[in-house]
């Protein structure tokens, strides 16, 4: 027998991933009664099937790659990784796919948790179907925040259901390395998972539809990753797509490629993009299209819905598909919701806590491959496409004393883009071991619009890789 009850809160948050948790934390801290609705694990995709487990798989591989090149270290570091130990570490970082700690945090923050599938049922209303089959009607006095994130998008390939392919979820939670792994896709998920499973003993074939890996980044980034994957034993093929796929009687997957060749693998990972988790969210009740991304203004308020009560935060709005950007948006959305609840009209100005501007100006991202790739702001191609007049300044990182201390055979490159009119950095890309730690300084330079002449007075410590900032300035001066 099912039952139905109605509960009223100031704020309803649909989705208890890092984004939803941060929205709820901000609104609860502002004194607004808040409930989170979650149909899976509290902590979301990042905690269990993305950021945390993927980096746990990658870290041993990257550390070994660095150690192999440092004089004086036992050559035994080149032996195969202890697969069981790596997977056990992955399991710990994913909390064994148990959300007890996250649930405890929600309670400690004064936030209510309702498990079940939430759907928008009208203005400021959410209907939740609980695991027991009951229905709970939630009403919000002030706001509903949709923080349902995104899911892996599979291509419309004949036979794909019977193929039983991996998505990012299976790739980060697999219990053992497949003997043969085919990776379809040249983006971040594809190259990271190819790196991880190749290091764990799989024979990896990486199928890229275009001419290079990481096509949205500077070409040299993809070239360096391609080089290292090849050295590690991966088979990287360009300009090919899968046109047919099937599981053969022995359980293997057989792929037919666009160039007429084929690949046989034990598992196939499709890393071919993301789609919003809005297909069963009740968007039609508000005149929106189920399965579509939710467009917002800079306050994260959904456009096309009157009343300033519906918010879309994180991946679901497609502004910038990174966990850290979603959490940034969550802080802004929480501030906006709290201000409006107080009867205020939050200032949407550029430098206020009520405007999500970093989604377009300075989005940082790291690809945890060998070598690491760190990017923020514009690429050269984006600058050309948008008509920005920029100076392009490059420097080979292997010329730095700090880089050679890191690895004697260090290979890498740095590039910054400088706006000719404003004389500020508008983009930066670093490719090389350990470059992720350069990213925040670049993000600050871009976000803060630091004049290039001022950067001469930001003195990097010697010998560190951060000295590249000085070398880039010198290269520009001498060109």
Contacts of residue 414, defined as CB under 8 A and 6 or more positions apart, other chains included, come to 394, 395, 397, 428, 429, 430, 431, 432, 435, 438, 468, 472
Q: How far apart are CA 254 and CA 29, in angstroms?
A: 54
Q: So where are the chain's domains? A: 4-43+99-151+276-358, 160-272, 371-478
Which pair of tokens denotes residue 426? Answer: 């508008």
Q: Has this prediction a pTM greater than 0.75?
A: yes
Contact 207, 257 (CB under 8 A): yes
- Using the structure block, give the residue that is written with the tokens 């096509």: 215
Which pair of tokens denotes residue 61? Answer: 């591989």
Contact 158, 175 (CB under 8 A): no
- What angle (nearest 5°) sits at the alpha carbon of residue 299, between those of residues 298 and 301? 105
Q: What is the CATH number of domain 371-478?
A: 3.30.390.30
Domain 4-43+99-151+276-358 has CATH 3.50.50.60: yes
Question: What does each of the 479 residues of the chain score in pLDDT, given as a tens digit?
Answer: 456 689 999 999 999 999 999 999 999 999 999 999 999 999 999 999 999 999 999 999 999 999 998 999 988 888 999 999 999 999 999 999 999 999 999 999 999 999 999 999 999 999 999 999 999 999 999 999 999 999 999 999 988 989 999 999 999 999 999 999 999 999 999 999 999 999 999 999 999 999 999 999 999 999 999 999 999 999 999 999 999 999 999 999 999 999 999 999 999 999 999 999 999 999 999 999 999 999 999 999 999 999 999 999 999 999 999 999 999 999 999 999 999 999 999 998 888 999 999 998 899 999 999 999 999 999 999 999 999 999 999 999 999 999 999 889 999 999 999 999 999 999 999 999 999 999 999 999 999 999 999 999 999 999 999 999 999 999 999 98
Pairing state between β 310-312 and 150-152: unpaired
What's 160-272's CATH class?
Answer: alpha beta
Q: Do domains 4-43+99-151+276-358 and 160-272 have the same CATH topology?
A: yes
Question: For residue range 63-110, what is the model confidence (pLDDT) as tens digits?
Answer: 999 999 899 998 888 899 999 999 999 999 999 999 999 999 999 999
Beta bridge partners of 267: 181
How many CB atoms within 10 Å of residue 342? 12
């Amino acid at each position: 027998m099912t039952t139905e009850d109605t509960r009223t809160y100031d704020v309803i948050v649909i989705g208890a991933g890092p984004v939803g948790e941060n929205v709820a934390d901000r609104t609860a801290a502002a004194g607004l009664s808040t409930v989170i609705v979650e149909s899976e694990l509290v902590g979301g995709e990042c905690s269990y099937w993305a950021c945390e487990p993927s980096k746990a798989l990658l870290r041993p591989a990257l550390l070994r790659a660095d150690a192999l090149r440092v004089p004086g270290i036992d050559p035994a570091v080149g032996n195969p990784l202890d697969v069981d130990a790596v997977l056990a570490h992955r399991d710990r970082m994913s909390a064994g796919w148990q959300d007890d700690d996250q649930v405890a945090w929600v309670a400690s923050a004064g936030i209510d948790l309702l498990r079940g599938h939430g759907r928008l049922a009208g203005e400021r209303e959410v209907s939740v179907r609980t695991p027991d089959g009951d229905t709970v009607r939630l009403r919000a006095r002030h706001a509903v925040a949709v923080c349902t994130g995104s899911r892996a998008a599979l291509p419309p390939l004949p036979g794909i259901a019977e193929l039983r392919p991996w998505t990012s979820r299976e790739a980060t939670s697999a219990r053992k390395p497949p003997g043969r792994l085919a990776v379809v896709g040249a983006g971040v998920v594809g190259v990271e998972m190819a790196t991880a499973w190749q290091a764990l003993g799989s024979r990896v074939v990486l199928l890229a539809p275009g001419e290079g890996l990481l096509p949205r980044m500077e070409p040299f980034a993809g070239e360096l990753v391609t080089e290292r994957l090849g050295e590690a034993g991966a088979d990287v093929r360009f300009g090919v797509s899968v046109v047919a796929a099937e599981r053969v009687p022995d359980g293997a997957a057989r792929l037919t490629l666009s160039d007429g060749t084929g690949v046989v693998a034990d598992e196939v990972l499709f890393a071919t993009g993301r789609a919003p988790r809005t297909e069963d969210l009740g968007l039609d009740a508000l005149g929106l299209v189920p399965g579509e991304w939710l467009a917002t203004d800079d306050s994260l308020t959904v456009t096309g819905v009157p009343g300033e009560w519906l918010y879309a935060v994180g991946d679901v709005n497609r502004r910038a598909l990174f966990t850290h950007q979603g959490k940034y948006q969550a802080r802004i959305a929480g501030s906006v919701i709290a201000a409006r609840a107080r009867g205020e009209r939050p200032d949407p100005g550029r430098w206020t806590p009520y405007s999500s501007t970093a989604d377009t100006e300075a989005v940082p991202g790291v690809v945890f491959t060998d070598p690491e790739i760190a990017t923020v702001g514009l690429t050269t191609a984006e600058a050309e496409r948008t008509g920005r007049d920029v100076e392009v300044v490059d420097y080979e990182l292997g010329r730095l004393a700090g880089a050679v201390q890191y690895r004697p055979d260090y290979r890498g490159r740095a590039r910054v883009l400088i706006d000719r009119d404003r004389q500020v950095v508008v983009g930066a890309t670093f490719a090389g071991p350990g470059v992720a730690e350069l990213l925040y300084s670049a993000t600050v330079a871009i976000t803060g619009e630091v004049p290039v002449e001022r950067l001469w007075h930001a003195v990097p410590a010697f010998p560190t890789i951060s000295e590249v900032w000085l070398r880039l300035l010198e290269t520009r001066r001498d060109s």
